[in-house]
């Protein structure tokens, strides 16, 4: 199903759509307040963008440097071409360490690789420990946002889910008490965990360290009890120097949730005594994206989610309508690289207003790339027939002054004489679904200008 078809379903519940829209706009407003408090914020964005550009232009060498230094720290580094190889590496580590209890903090990469269902198929249960992720794991749903995975749910939904899975009283919908129930439940999982899986927000070539950012403390609680730590990272997570963390940690949380920094910013360089640490470096299509000149800068993304919170289409359609691990504007330029046909509707899930590019902390030209993907969809024959025909027709009309003028005249006439029920019939005019047409003018602007201004 295309994005617009799914969005239509989402919009079936008007109040829920409005609530979703306002919840995310609230996060965007918090972001603005946090950003305006930092006088050099724009300078930081430029620096972050330049550092990422530099890193991508020397990515192979930085990955080699990172691996070398991580090895020196006693970390085992693995390389995975695709999701399947990533999943197999992790399963092997779990089996070799004879582990039963696995905890995982938030990692969009493991979602992208569908690690949980893979491990489950092989008899390994994973407990997601981020509160939002635990909620959607209970409900067997994918995340609908990369920072706020359960943003599509109301507290009543969470109350119902926890009643079923954690035995909280029926009708208990208080976020404080629901969070407390999850705290008690997950603390047991932390202290008995054998293996802790995390993602990585940043990997530092210079030191071989990774940095993980959370607000709940679930990554550290998992890793610091377990005997094995496995961190999954995409190839684009590497940054050159330890000092560069200062730029990215100032940008990330402010852009994501409007916090000055995440509650925990954790730096893992060496495993603790008696424990082991593994890092899985994953490609899964990223190196291919690096080769696409128009789209490679999408690899600069630090996964803050600001483009989602600001996007008028995301806010009023929800993350699940994108049908891709990373939804919203950034997801819409990443997804077509993975599967052009399957995700062909995503670059059209945008008004091209450019707000995503304006808030991006690493200055990715997201809306330009959305536009460029549309051109490719057209060339690759990945457009639905109706859209294609209407594009061809529109091009013909706009290319001829004569045809354009005649059709304009005709349209004004028809709009004037037709009854409201006809001009606003949604099967003829989908534009009028939630909008009123303006009163059609008597003449075109061109005619008006000729009469009123041209002679003077």
Partner 1 sequence: MNSRARLLSQIEKNKPALVELPNVPSFQNNAATIEVFETALLKIGGNMIEMNDLTSLVTIIQNKFPGILKIASSLPIATINVNEWTNQQTLEAIELVILEARLGVAENGAVWLSDTDMLHRALPFITQHLVVVLNRKDIVATMHHAYEKIQLPDYGVFIAGPSKTADIEQSLVIGAHGARTMTVLLI
Residues 200-239 that bind partner 1 (CB under 8 A): 207, 209, 215-218, 220-221, 223-225, 235
Query: Hey, is 381 helix, strand or coil?
Result: coil
Q: Which residues pair with 274 in a beta bridge?
A: none
Task: State the nearest-atom distance from the C-beta of 109 to partner 1, in Å.
Answer: 15
Task: State the nearest-atom distance from the C-beta of 381 to partner 1, in Å.
Answer: 25
Spell out the SS3 assignment of 365-380: CHHHHHHHHHHHHHHC
Task: State the nearest-atom distance from the C-beta of 185 to partner 1, in Å.
Answer: 10
Task: State the nearest-atom distance from the C-beta of 379 to partner 1, in Å.
Answer: 21
Task: State the nearest-atom distance from the C-beta of 12 to partner 1, in Å.
Answer: 21
Of 4, 259, 418, 423, which one interacts with partner 1 (CB under 8 A)?
Answer: 259
Helix (H) or strand (E) holding 264: strand 264-268
Number of residues that bind partner 1 (CB under 8 A): 94
> How many angstroms separate the CA atoms of 51 and 2, rounded?
36
276 binds partner 1, rule: CB under 8 A: no
Task: State the nearest-atom distance from the C-beta of 336 to partner 1, in Å.
Answer: 17
State the binding string over 167-206 for partner 1 (x if CB under 8 A, else -): --------xx-xxx-xx--xx--xxx--------------
- What contacts 303, CB < 8 A, 6 or more positions away? 108, 146, 147, 201, 326
Helical packing angle, 14-36 and 245-256, nearest 10°: 140
Of 104, 237, 244, 303, which one interacts with partner 1 (CB under 8 A)?
Answer: 244
441 binds partner 1, rule: CB under 8 A: no
Contact in structure between 361 and 247 (CB atoms under 8 Å)? no
Of 101, 249, 325, 357, which one interacts with partner 1 (CB under 8 A)?
Answer: 249
Stretch that binds partner 1, among 152-160, 321-329, 332-340, 416-424 (CB under 8 A): 152-160
39 binds partner 1, rule: CB under 8 A: yes
Nearer to partner 1 by Cβ, of 7 and 290: the residue is 290
**The two three-digit tokens of residue 90, written as one number:** 């992790």
Task: State the nearest-atom distance from the C-beta of 413 to partner 1, in Å.
Answer: 50
Residues in the chain: 456
Of 121, 267, 342, 446, which one interacts with partner 1 (CB under 8 A)?
Answer: 267
DSSP assignment letter at 346: G
Nearer to partner 1 by Cβ, of 279 and 349: the residue is 279
Residue with token string 């969005």: 7
Kind of pairing between the strands at 209-214 and 264-268:
antiparallel
Task: State the nearest-atom distance from the C-beta of 295 to partner 1, in Å.
Answer: 11
Task: State the nearest-atom distance from the C-beta of 150 to partner 1, in Å.
Answer: 5
State the binding string over 48-87 for partner 1 (x if CB under 8 A, else -): --xx-xx-xxxxx--xx--------x-----xxx---x--
- What contacts 450, CB < 8 A, 6 or more positions away? none
Half-sphere exposure of 296 (CA within 13 A, CB side): 14
Near partner 1 in 279-338, by CB under 8 A: 281, 283, 287-288, 290-291, 293, 296
Nearer to partner 1 by Cβ, of 247 and 349: the residue is 247
Nearer to partner 1 by Cβ, of 142 and 354: the residue is 142
Cα-Cα end-to-end distance for the chain: 56
What's the Cα-to-Cα distance from 331 to each of 177, 271, 348, 380, 451, rounded to whole Å?
Answer: 34, 33, 12, 20, 50
Task: State the nearest-atom distance from the C-beta of 168 to partner 1, in Å.
Answer: 12
Torsion-angle region of 311 (φ positive above 0: left; ψ -120 to 50: alpha; else: beta): beta
Task: State the nearest-atom distance from the C-beta of 180 to partner 1, in Å.
Answer: 7
Would you state the torsion angle of the CA atoms of residues 145, 151, 157, 159, taken in this order, to the nearest 10 degrees?
Answer: 110
Query: Hey, is 152 helix, strand or coil?
Result: coil
> How many angstroms separate the CA atoms of 76 and 97, rounded?
14
Q: Which residues pair with 437 in a beta bridge?
A: none
State the binding string over 383-422 for partner 1 (x if CB under 8 A, else -): ----------------------------------------
């Amino acid at each position: 199903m295309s994005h617009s078809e799914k969005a239509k379903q989402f919009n079936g519940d008007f109040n829920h759509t409005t609530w979703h829209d306002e919840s995310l706009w609230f996060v965007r407003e918090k972001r603005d307040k946090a950003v305006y408090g930092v006088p050099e914020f724009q300078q930081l964005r430029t620096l972050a963008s330049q550092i990422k550009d530099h890193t991508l232009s020397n990515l192979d060498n930085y990955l080699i440097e990172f691996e070398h230094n991580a090895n020196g720290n006693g970390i085992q580094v693995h390389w995975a071409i695709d999701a399947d190889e990533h999943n197999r590496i992790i399963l092997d580590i779990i089996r070799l360490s004879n582990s039963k209890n696995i905890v995982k903090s938030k990692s969009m990469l493991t979602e992208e690789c569908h690690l949980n269902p893979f491990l489950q198929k092989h008899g390994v249960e994973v407990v997601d420990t981020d509160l939002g992720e635990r909620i959607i794991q209970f409900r067997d749903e994918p995340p609908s946002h990369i920072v706020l995975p359960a943003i599509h749910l109301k507290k009543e939904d969470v109350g119902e889910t926890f009643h079923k899975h954690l035995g909280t009283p029926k009708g208990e919908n208080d976020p404080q008490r629901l969070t407390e129930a999850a705290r008690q439940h997950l603390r047991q999982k932390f202290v008995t965990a054998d293996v802790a899986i995390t993602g990585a927000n940043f990997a530092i070539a210079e030191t071989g360290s990774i940095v993980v950012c959370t607000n709940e403390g679930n990554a550290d609680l998992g890793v610091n009890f377990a005997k094995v730590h496995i961190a999954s990272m995409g190839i684009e997570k590497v940054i050159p120097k330890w000092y560069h963390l200062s730029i990215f940690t100032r940008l990330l949380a402010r852009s994501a949730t409007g916090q000055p920094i995440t509650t925990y910013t954790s730096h893992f360089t060496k495993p603790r005594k008696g424990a082991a640490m593994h890092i899985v470096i994953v490609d899964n299509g990223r190196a291919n994206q690096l080769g696409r000149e128009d789209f490679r800068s999408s690899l600069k993304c630090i996964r803050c989610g600001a483009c989602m919170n600001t996007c008028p289409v995301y806010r009023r359609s929800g993350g699940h309508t994108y049908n891709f691990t990373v939804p919203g504007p950034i997801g819409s330029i990443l997804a077509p690289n993975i599967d052009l046909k399957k995700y062909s509707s995503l670059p059209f899930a945008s008004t091209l207003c450019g707000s995503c590019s304006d808030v991006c902390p690493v200055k990715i030209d997201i809306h330009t790339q959305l536009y460029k993907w549309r051109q490719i969809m057209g060339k690759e024959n990945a457009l639905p027939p109706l859209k294609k025909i209407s594009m061809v027709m529109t091009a013909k009309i706009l290319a001829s002054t004569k045809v354009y003028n005649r059709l304009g005249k005709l349209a004004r006439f028809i709009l004037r004489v037709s009854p409201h029920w006809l001009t606003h019939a949604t099967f003829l005019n989908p534009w009028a679904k939630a909008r009123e047409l303006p009163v059609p003018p008597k003449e075109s602007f061109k005619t008006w200008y000729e009469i009123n201004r041209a002679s003077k």
